[in-house]
């Protein structure tokens, strides 16, 4: 097992609010966190199942469209809760994040600790910038993920 925490940011840089996962990764990068790997992904499910295999602690962040108010932050404990099937509709691929989590659960391949942040997007049109309400949600989630990392490090000395 890798002695690092994996943070996966999912999204497309050219698709408006779909880029929020990448924006959060960009903010996290500035914090120069030790023993943390940051990975950008397009959201193809089997690829995600592949990259998290050597990590015990994984945090995944992506845009979602569940009908909630834009900017709403959903936090899912991937080990305890099922990811709603239509949650990650706006992942670019139909075998996407939700399918990856549920298939990994079915095959016994989930990371030991998986936390998913879904940020409710408003606009997923191609070629537009992120909506203003998503910007503030991104800042909030960045802070939450840093807290998440801190708490993991406190519990698991291997990452300290």
Site residues for other proteins per CB under 8 A: 12-14, 40-47, 49-50, 86, 89-90, 92-95, 99, 102-103, 106-107, 124-127
CB of 125 to other proteins, least distance (A): 8
Given the structure tokens 């925490």, which residue do they identify?
5
**Can you say whether the dihedral through the CA atoms of 119, 121, 127, 130 is positive or negative?**
negative
Q: Name the residue nearer to other proteins (CB basis): 82 or 155.
A: 82
**What DSSP character marks residue 155?**
H
β-pairing, 113-120 vs 5-10, is: unpaired
Query: Per residue, what are the HEC states of 62-129?
Result: EEECCCCCCCCEEEEECCCCCCCCCCCCCCCCCCCHHHHHHHHHHCCCCCCEEEEEEEECCCCCCCCC
∠ CA 113-40-140, nearest 5°, is 70
Q: Name the residue nearer to other proteins (CB basis): 94 or 160.
A: 94
CB of 44 to other proteins, least distance (A): 5
Q: Name the residue nearer to other proteins (CB basis): 13 or 80.
A: 13
Q: Name the residue nearer to other proteins (CB basis): 32 or 67.
A: 67
CB of 110 to other proteins, least distance (A): 13
CB of 154 to other proteins, least distance (A): 31
**Can you say whether the dihedral through the CA atoms of 35, 39, 43, 49 is positive or negative?**
negative
Q: Name the residue nearer to other proteins (CB basis): 103 or 146.
A: 103
CB of 118 to other proteins, least distance (A): 16
């Amino acid at each position: 097992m890798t002695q690092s925490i994996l943070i996966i940011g999912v999204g497309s840089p050219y698709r408006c609010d779909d880029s929020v996962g990448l924006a959060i990764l960009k903010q996290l990068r500035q914090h120069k966190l030790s023993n943390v790997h940051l990975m950008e992904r397009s959201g193809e499910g089997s690829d995600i199942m592949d990259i998290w295999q050597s990590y015990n602690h994984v945090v995944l962040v992506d845009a979602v469209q569940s009908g909630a108010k834009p900017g709403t932050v959903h936090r899912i404990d991937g080990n305890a809760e099922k990811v709603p099937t239509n949650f990650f509709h706006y992942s670019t691929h139909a075998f996407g994040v939700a399918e990856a989590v549920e298939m990994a659960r079915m095959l016994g391949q989930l990371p030991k600790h998986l936390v998913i942040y879904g940020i409710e997007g408003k606009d997923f049109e191609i070629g537009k910038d992120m909506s203003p309400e998503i910007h503030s949600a991104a800042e909030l989630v960045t802070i939450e993920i840093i807290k998440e990392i801190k708490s993991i490090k406190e519990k698991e000395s291997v990452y300290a």
